[in-house]
Amino acid sequence: MRKSLTAVFAVVVAMVAMMAAVSHASAANAAAGCRVDYVVTSQWTGGFHADVAVTNVGEPVNGWTLRFAFPAVDQQIAQTWSATWAQSGQQVSATNLGWNATLGTNGSVNIGFVGAWFGSNPVPASFTLNGVACTGGVLPSRTPTGPTTSPPVADYPAIVHWVSPAVGAVYTAPGPVPLAVTATVGGGHYITSVSFRVDGVTLAQGVRTTGDRFEAQWTPPTGAPGTSTTYLLYASAGTDQSLSGGAPPLLVTVVTPPSTGTNHPPAAALSTPGGQTYFLEPTTVTLVADVTDTDPGDPVSRVELYLGATKLAVTPTNSGQRYQFQLPLSAGTSSTFTVRVHDSHGGVGISNPLTFTIR
């Protein structure tokens, strides 16, 4: 019985050893290699925008983590996209999301971030992907001795970069704001569409102009004079694989300038209902002032009724662009009235004089 148990134990040990050897051989047979293109696409005082293109030049991987170190102690990641980013001291890591976990041979993924810097902003010197140094070459591997399987078909999402507007650009309403991106895709695939959005609303479809460049124009709404509005712009592209990719969101500011010396004063036409100029006492006369202002975003602030040079203490009833005044008048009155119209930027318009008689 002891001999039988010893024999069984020996067989089990041998099988475990064989499995370990096979596992080790499989790991050794996986040729690994990568290339990283780290580009600072724009930089301003205290901040910068970095695009990081990671290309797997080895065998396909399912799940990846990119690691690198910032050269300066005051460099920090802030807003990130297309990966789960983390930073501890100067060490930075980016791990795949669900949709971009698989990187086929020569497959690439575009990730990036908006960062902060204070003293200097040097580019990282080295990168690793799943612990393998990204030198652009492939680590050697032994020729497999067992059966092999074909690698899965690689997914190639679109890679989109902003050309216009620039980060933090300021435009004057009503624009237009030029929109332009470059959209590319690897693996012999092609871009099928490019769309631009603001705050989740589609603005326009990009039109290919030259090469990989797609353009459109956006006319932002005009705000109140002297105000500004910040918008978040998005650009995305689709491919023949039905895979989409997008550029990081972009902040732009649209300013509506204040009214200047070109402000046009409002106009008013003063009348009575039916154009009547004679009334019998006792009566209450209705005066109607039809008011217009040709300057956009410059509303009428008040309308005043004058008897000669005297402003009457009468509160008008405002109905859109029509103001009405109710005046109780007595016999023997022959009076000339005008209205003065004030807009929100200091413009003043005076109506036609209106004279009528009470008998």
For residue 7, being part of any structural domain is answered with no
328 occurs within a structural domain = yes
Answer whether the bond into residue 124 is a cis peptide, omega within 30°.
no
Same domain (yes/no): 122, 169: no
Q: Are strands 354-358 and 278-279 parallel, antiparallel or unpaired?
A: parallel
Does the pLDDT at position 234 exceed 60? yes
280-331 pLDDT per residue, tens: 776 788 888 888 887 776 777 788 887 776 777 455 655 567 888 887 777 6
**Bigger pLDDT: 49 or 244?**
49
Examine the domain organization and report whether 41 and 127 are in the same domain: yes
Whichever domain contains 276, its CATH number is: 2.60.40.10
Do 246 and 305 have their domain in common? Answer: no
Of 258, 290, 316, which residue is a domain's last? 258
Asked whether residue 132 falls in the same domain as residue 216, the answer is: no
Average pLDDT of the chain is 78
Could you tell me if 250 and 272 lie in one domain? no
The contacts of residue 114 (CB under 8 Å, 6+ apart) are: 47, 48, 49, 50, 77, 78, 79, 80, 248
Q: What is the mean pLDDT of residues 168-180?
A: 85
- In this structure, are 240 and 332 located in the same domain? no
The reply to whether 189 and 121 lie within a common domain is no
Which of 229, 258, 287 is the last residue in one of the domains? Answer: 258
Shared-domain flag, residues 43 and 118: yes
- Domain containing 340: what range? 267-358
C-beta of residue 203 within 8 angstroms of C-beta of residue 218? yes
Task: Looking at the structure, tell me whether residues 177 and 247 fall in a common domain.
Answer: yes
10 SS3 class: helix
- Whether residues 232 and 275 fall in one domain: no
Q: Which of 225, 258, 291 is the last residue of a domain?
A: 258
Q: Are 71 and 124 in contact (CB under 8 A)?
A: yes
Residue 156 has pLDDT above 80, yes or no: no
Are 329 and 274 within one domain?
yes
**For residue 354, which of 281, 268, 292 has the smallest C-alpha distance?**
268
Is residue 174 reached through a cis peptide bond, with omega within 30 degrees of 0 on the bond before it?
yes
The string of pLDDT tens digits covering residues 62-74 is: 999 999 999 987 7
Q: What total number of domains does the chain contain?
A: 3
Same domain, 254 and 336: no
